Amino acid sequence: MSSAEVLQRAIQAARAGQKVEARDLLLQVVEVDPRNEMAWMWLSGLVDTLEDRMIACENVLTINPANEKVRGYLTGLQRQHRSLLARKDSNEAASLFNQARAHAERNDVNTALRLAGQALEKRDNYEEAWLLIGRISPVIDQQIAALEKAYKLNPSNAETALALEQARYLKANPMSAAARLEQQGKFEEALRVYNELAAKTKDSREFDHIYKQIIRIEGLQKENIRYIAPTSSIARLTFAWPLLYLSLALMQMGLNPFAHPVFYLWLGLPLVVLGSFLLSLAEVRSNHIVWQKLFSEQGDGSDFARLVTAATGWFLVIIPHVLLLLDSLNRLRNFTIPPMPF
């Protein structure tokens, strides 16, 4: 049987819905006559996979580049193929990113960075992955590059804009960057930054300062000092002054606020709490939201911001104590000295 006859039988079988038989016959045809355009055309509709269909179409176009119908069909197939590949990559990228985020939450930064990088190889426009790298990378240049990518992908994300601004601030202020790493309990990385700074600086005073920081952090590491988050320290220290104020107010009210109430002394308590909080905030280095909201800053509060915060804190702490003092003096003015009992 000639290949033309086999082709005719294949076409009849295909039209009769006998796809497997038709495909086998067509494969026989192209094996004997690889430049049979008609056979390849029919095959492009009968093979199973998208890739095989595309190969069949490409063969048709190699034989007859003017076959516009097949060219159009191939373009459709290629679009479908790209879309499938992208969906597959996207799913893999999402899976890798989720793993990266889980590792980041467990402070396993290296693995998190590697997985986030793999996610980006699958999907370059993965904003969250860039953002994650920008947040956890110990290298400030890598942070900035990643955040810039994330920002370019979505300029309306205020969180990315803020993180990028902060990263640029820390690059321009490496001492703050080292202090920030220490705040986060990343002593090794803080030491690396300090050591780099010590190697670069030519100012002997600055070198002394950096050297002291290095010695201090090495001491903390050597003695295995537990890391305490700045927010915990601020919360703890906030209690100090209100506790004193409450004790003094209690003395003023004869240890019985119900029998001898002085209402405005109670009103002073929230002021002392707020003042004590501001004093703690000014003392403990922390990337606290107050610095961003009130002072539009990226770091731990400039010297000026810390000074203003501390001054406000002192003012708020002192005012209720002055009221307490005035109340005491007023009572002393009306006080009749009792006679000596002995």
Residues that bind other proteins (CB under 8 A): 220, 223-228, 230, 233, 236-237, 239-241, 243-244, 247-256, 259-260, 283-284, 324-325, 327-329, 331-332, 335, 337-338, 340-341
Least distance in angstroms from the C-beta of 169 to other proteins = 23
DSSP 84-112: HHHHHHHHHHHHHHHHHHHHHHTT-HHHH
Least distance in angstroms from the C-beta of 205 to other proteins = 18
Question: Quick one: CA torsion of 57, 58, 61, 62, rounded to 10 degrees?
Answer: -140
Least distance in angstroms from the C-beta of 298 to other proteins = 22
Q: What's the rounded Cα separation, in Å, for the pair 296 and 302?
A: 10
Burial 154-176 (b: 16+ CB within 10 A, else e): eeeeeebeebbbbbbebeeebbb
* Residue closer to other proteins, measured from CB, 16 or 326: 326
For residue 285 the two structure tokens come to 């280095």
For residues 130 and 146, the answer to whether their CB atoms sit within 8 Å is yes
Least distance in angstroms from the C-beta of 137 to other proteins = 26
For residues 312 and 280, the answer to whether their CB atoms sit within 8 Å is no
Instruction: Pick the closest to residue 262 from 333, 335, 332, 327 (CA basis).
Output: 327
136-139: long-range contacts at Cβ-Cβ below 8 A with a sequence spacing of 24 or more?
Answer: 136/104, 136/109, 136/112, 137/109, 137/113, 138/109, 138/181, 138/186, 138/189, 138/192
Q: What's the rounded Cα separation, in Å, for the pair 191 and 122?
A: 35
Least distance in angstroms from the C-beta of 231 to other proteins = 11
Least distance in angstroms from the C-beta of 112 to other proteins = 26
